[in-house]
Amino acid sequence: MDHSPEKRRRRRCLILSVLAVLLLIIIVAVVLGLTLRKNTDSLKTTFISRCKAFKEYDCPKIWDAFEQSYVGRDPCKVPMEAYDPFIAAAPFQPACNRMMFWSKTTDVVHDFTEKKDCFLTLEDTLLGSVMDGLTWCGKEGSPETFTTGCPGWTDCVNNTVRSFWNRASAAFADAACGQVTAMLNGSIVTPFNPTSIFATIELERLDSPRVKNLNVVLVTQETTVTNCTNASLKNLQKELDPGVKYNCKEVSEAQIQECSSNPEKPCGACW
C-alpha cells in the first residue's frame, strides 16, 4: 500500500466530499418533509378555522372524513362517490325557498348573498365555504396531502377537486325545496351552458313535487348580449322536470347591487 501524503490527502478529500453530499441529502429530505407537513398542516388549519365559524359541527371529525376521501389515491381517480362519507359528516340542511344556484355570475351572486340574508348558495354552506378556493390531492401509496402539483379542473375528469364540487353540488341540489332561484349571466352567448355544473349535476336533481318553481334571474349589464328568449334557456326548460314551474326574468346588475345595499328592501322586492 502506498501511504504517500498525496494519496492520503486525496482520500481525506473523498471522504469529506461523501460526507458533504450525505449532509446535503439529509438537509433536502428534512426540508422536503417539513414542506409536505406544512402543506397538510396549513390546509388543515384553514379547514378547521373556516369550519369553526359553523358552531354546530364537529370539525375534527369532518376533517377525518374529508382526508379519507382522497389520501392514498391517484388524484385523477377520485370519483364523486369517494366524498359520500364527507358529505354525510356535514349534511346540508334543507333551506326551502332560499336556495340559489348560479353559473358564471360568481361575483354578483356572492356579493348579493353576503350582503342580504335572502338566499343561500353552496359557497355559503359549511362544506362550500370550507373548501372554497382550495386545492388538495393525495398520491397513490402516500399518506400525505398535497396542495401544489395537483391536477387542474380539466386535466382529468375524476380529479380530487372537481369531484368534490360535483358531489357537493349534487347534495346541495338534492336538498333544494320549494322556490329555487338560479342566477345566470346575460353577458355571455350561452347563459345556460350545457357543460356547466348547473346543467350537468344540479338541474336534473330539481325534482317535483319537492321543488315547486325554478326562477331564473338573468343578470344583464351594459355588455348584455342575450335575453330570456335565448334558445339555451329553451333547452333548460326541456331538461327541467315538467312538474317544476319555470320562470325567467331579466334583472340588471345595478338593480341587484342597489337592492343588496338597501337593508330596508325585503327579499322578494329585489326582482
Ligand X SMILES: *[C@@H]1O[C@H](CO)[C@@H](O)[C@H](O)[C@H]1NC(C)=O
Per-residue cell: 246: 319555470
Q: Of these, 64, 81, 117, 155, which contacts ligand X (CB under 6 A)?
A: 81
Residues 6+ apart with CB under 8 A from 153: 159, 161, 162
Q: b vs e for 154-174, b when ≥16 Cβ sit within 10 Å of the residue's Cβ?
A: eebebbbbbbbbbbbbbbbbb
Query: Which of 33/79 has CB closer to ligand X?
Result: 79
Distance of CA 8 to the CA centre of its chain: 63
Minimum distance of ligand X from residue 163's CB (angstroms): 7
How many C-beta atoms lie closer than 10 Å to residue 98's C-beta?
A: 20
**Does position 229 bind ligand X by CB under 6 A?**
yes
CB 119 within 8 A of CB 182: no
Q: First CA to last CA across the chain, in angstroms?
A: 96
Count of chain residues binding ligand X (CB under 6 A): 25
Query: Which of 67/253 has CB closer to ligand X?
Result: 253
**Does position 107 bind ligand X by CB under 6 A?**
yes
How many C-beta atoms lie closer than 10 Å to residue 230's C-beta?
A: 19
Contact letters for ligand X, residues 154-193 (x by CB under 6 A): ---xx--------------------------x-xxxx---
Q: Of these, 45, 227, 247, 262, which contacts ligand X (CB under 6 A)?
A: 227
Query: Which of 3/238 has CB closer to ligand X?
Result: 238
Dist. CA 3–CA 133, nearest whole Å: 66
Which residue stretch of 39-47, 201-209, 231-239, 241-249 sits at the interface with ligand X (rule: CB under 6 A)?
231-239
Which residue stretch of 141-149, 197-205, 207-215, 229-237 sits at the interface with ligand X (rule: CB under 6 A)?
229-237
Per-residue cell: 92: 346540508
Which residue stretch of 17-25, 200-208, 228-236, 261-269 sits at the interface with ligand X (rule: CB under 6 A)?
228-236
Positions in the binding site for ligand X (CB under 6 A): 79-81, 104-105, 107-108, 157-158, 185, 187-190, 219, 221, 225-227, 229-232, 235, 253
